[in-house]
Chains A and B, each alone.
Chain A
């Protein structure tokens, strides 16, 4: 008898809660966890000038589609070891125009362990304060070893990104080399592999 009562209550409860969801008319989208492998972002440097002239296209990436894009709806873009966000202003003439108000910050932890977005920490690219994701060894996401010349992502550095349409994503860069293995002359560098988690629901600051 008690069991029957209980089951009825549960059924009613479930019915009620699902009803309220329907009323909201915005279905909760599932959080997307993906891996991007070997995203190539080649830059070339001409050392005959001082300072050296760096050239190459920024490869734009959209978390919504989970792919690279050439449209204006990009979130972050890669060139060499530099990562820019689609927010703020260009810090050099050859960067793509920022079309949105995206931002980023770096936090220490594991990808799974970072469950909350701290919206106060976001910065955008700025000609005065530099990029939201700083360049240079140990400043941002990577460590450069001056003796082996290998660029390795610093363990525990998670990039939290506000996308071009105000949603959130977090990513951990795993490798800077094609197939995650630097070759002898390091000629297979500038290939990003990273894990990311994308929260597709607007305004939701948890993962």
Chain B
């Protein structure tokens, strides 16, 4: 299906007019808020407001209170402290999130329900998101493509921004820390009966840091970024409301490749989000949503004589209209259905074309409570796509209350990740080494071109293999969990998970070049799985003290590799240049960058009489391998590993005269660094913070 900009506007108009039509048949609304606000609620899991505790899916909430008490400034800071989540530095400099052992490209990141884009090499850099205007962060684990489509393979992280309180309110935040890091934020909000508006401004500057003083480069070069976001809510009447938001983000960073090559890299991003909600009756309501976002990244390098050495750019656009309706036939059940269209374009250096993706989709979900003790959710989504195979993503989830204290949750879902533009359209030749990487769809035109230029020595994979479409990476995710509250002050939960991923996209050699190098392209090959268990506990012995602990056990393995080890086909060396020997089945460690054990412990204490709160948080990660060090292309027990480590943070905050809050803290108290292997741990950070509310 093809779509141009005119068609989008037609699509937009049709739904708009449908909407205005239906608006006229409004029935007087009764109070439809079925959930009392005392309980923690979550919206990401079902796209309806649900009590966290009644949900059949593994989910986690991070509250504004927690974010403020630990004085986080970027999304990466706070997510790193959660059980089973870890940020992993990318070679491009960004930090992506690993969830249930799955790479960052398999976790969808949303802001107020709509996705962030800009994965130039697969990773979405979450350090670009400021947490200064966040109400809560919702994390849903397990494949969620039944509601969200592509990328929601491992899970979904949804950042819910704060809504203004009544009247004119605001707060000013300033945090100053090690490495000349200045984080300044301003929140302004205004609200009267049916209207509210809020604006958030953030400026973040840092000198970066250098873990290796011996070279001309810094580990992180100095950078600065600004975020501006505005949100508007207007209730036309009791039944119809409009939500409008816009966000702009810009970052500038020095880009230094060597002593002689210096330049800059810039990121510019904007998002606009419009949502019209309308309630027809107690049973029916509908939403029209329009979302558009653009992510641009440009970088250049200059020679010492200021002549241009290299330029590269990345410019992605996503436009998405969506309409959805909810229908509640009874108090105990709810339907939600949606229809939408993704339109995506990209211009990028080293691309064979200027690709365009179009993908209409539809989804339906039924959420029901057949008995007092049971909640079942059925959901399915269909994504049609212009460039790869259409996807049908079903999901079913069940929660059963065994007793007042014990509940069991289980869910099975299908998740997928569409091949990205790079995997389809890349056309890149390394200038110094001479190898070539081609996107899957570029192969059939580019190989004959290279052949005509006399660059191909022989073709290894025949071109006929590239006539079919590349499959999206897809997975079946299973989660089974027990939720136990032995007494009201203790909450325990245990979740066992397994994600089986098929058609993982990897590169392989498709032809040899006459210069002795290879032509690589992408193909569906690997079957990998990640499985393990997650344990979370919370203990609140009194209203001042809260202790939480979490643990994740993880096995992440490639099935083909597992087989190769069992069959004795894998060899290793003790040192890089010692003779090879044969490895056994249990010598296979698993995928790179996965730790078998991760744990955290947090203690929060409030000194009520002193208006003081303090906390100590520790996270632990066991050893992991970054790459093969003994020449067999697999991670085995004889490889060099990055040693396990723990990081301890401390924060204390004091409220003065009700509206002033002073904070002080030390992140990474024991100044842990691993300069060789871990580029995103900078060492000890001491900071102070001031918050003024008005």
Contact = CB atoms under 8 A, between A and B. Distances in A.
A109 B517 CA distance: 25
A138 interface: yes
A203 interface: no
Interface string B139-152: 00000000000000
B633 A156 contact: no
Contacts of B515: 51-52, 54
A174 B516 contact: no
Contacts of B91: 147
B576 A175 contact: yes
B516 A47 contact: no
Contact of A110 (B455, B513, B582): B582
Contacts of B684: none
A125 B453 CA distance: 23
A110 B580 contact: yes
A82 interface: yes
Q: Please indicate which of the listed interface residues B457, B576, B579, B582 has the most CB atoms of chain A within 10 Å of its own CB.
A: B576
A111 B631 contact: no
Nearest to A179: B577
Given A113-B582, A145-B627, A51 B455 contact: yes
A146 B517 CA distance: 12
Given A52-B434, A130-B512, A136-B517, A152 B582 contact: no
A149 B434 CA distance: 12
B578 interface: yes
Interface residues of A, number: 42
Interface in B405-464: 430-435, 453-455, 457-458
B40 interface: no
A174 B431 contact: no
Given A51-B455, A108-B569, A174-B577, A134 B512 contact: yes
B44 interface: no
B518 A154 contact: no
B576 A152 contact: yes
A180 B577 contact: yes
Interface in B552-608: 569-573, 576-582
Given A154-B632, A155-B580, A135 B512 contact: yes
Contact of B582 (A129, A149, A156): A156
A172 B630 CA distance: 14
Interface string A30-45: 0000000000000001
Nearest to B572: A155
A181 B430 CA distance: 25
B579 A174 contact: yes
Interface in B218-236: none
A135 B570 CA distance: 21
A155 B630 contact: yes
Contacts of B578: 174
B306 interface: no
A180 B577 CA distance: 6
A139 B512 contact: yes
B514 interface: yes
B509 interface: yes
Interface string A126-137: 000110001111
B438 to A, nearest CB: 15
Contacts of B512: 130, 134-136, 139
Interface in A180-201: 180-181, 193, 195
A24 to B, nearest CB: 34
A65 to B, nearest CB: 23
B580 A136 contact: no
A62 B475 CA distance: 54
Interface in A124-178: 129-130, 134-139, 143-149, 152-157, 172, 174-175
Contacts of A113: 582
Contacts of B573: 155, 174
A81 interface: yes
B516 A136 contact: yes
A67 to B, nearest CB: 21
A137 B518 contact: yes
A111 B432 contact: no
A136 B576 contact: no
Q: Please indicate which of the listed interface residues B455, B570, B571, B580 has the most CB atoms of chain A within 10 Å of its own CB.
A: B580
Nearest to B429: A50
Contacts of A156: 569-572, 580, 582, 632
Interface string B364-399: 000000000000000000000000000000000000
Contacts of B518: 136-137, 139
Contact of A138 (B434, B514, B576, B633): B633
B76 to A, nearest CB: 22
B630 to A, nearest CB: 6
Given A110-B581, A111-B580, A135-B512, A47 B458 contact: no
B577 A175 contact: yes
Interface in B510-548: 512-518
A139 B509 contact: yes
A2 to B, nearest CB: 46
Given A155-B632, A193-B577, A146 B435 contact: yes
Contacts of A129: 458
Contacts of A148: 627
B146 to A, nearest CB: 36
Contacts of B433: 144, 146, 149
B178 to A, nearest CB: 29
Given A134-B512, A137-B518, A51 B630 contact: no
Nearest to B432: A47
B571 A143 contact: no
A182 B627 CA distance: 16
A153 B515 CA distance: 20
Contacts of B576: 152, 175, 180-181
Given A110-B571, A110-B580, A193-B577, A154 B633 contact: yes
A39 B571 CA distance: 24
A91 to B, nearest CB: 8
Contacts of A134: 512
B182 to A, nearest CB: 33
Contacts of A111: 579-580
A45 B431 CA distance: 12
A107 to B, nearest CB: 11
B449 to A, nearest CB: 13
Contacts of B632: 154-156
Q: Please indicate which of the listed interface residues A108, A111, A129 has the most CB atoms of chain B within 10 Å of its own CB.
A: A108
Contacts of B513: 51, 136
A203 to B, nearest CB: 27
Interface string B464-475: 000000000000
B631 A137 contact: no
Contacts of A82: 516
B677 to A, nearest CB: 13
Given A152-B576, A156-B580, A108 B631 contact: no
Nearest to A79: B516
Nearest to A147: B91
A143 B514 contact: no
A149 B512 CA distance: 18
Given A82-B516, A154-B633, A174-B577, A130 B571 contact: no
A52 B513 CA distance: 11
A48 to B, nearest CB: 11
A135 B433 CA distance: 14
A138 B507 CA distance: 12
Nearest to A136: B518
A151 B582 CA distance: 21
Given A136-B509, A136-B517, A180-B576, 9 more contacts: A47-B434, A130-B458, A135-B512, A135-B516, A143-B631, A147-B627, A156-B569, A174-B573, A193-B577
The 3 nearest A-B residue pairs measured at CB: A156-B571, A180-B577, A175-B577
6 contacts: A80-B516, A110-B581, A138-B509, A147-B627, A155-B631, A195-B579
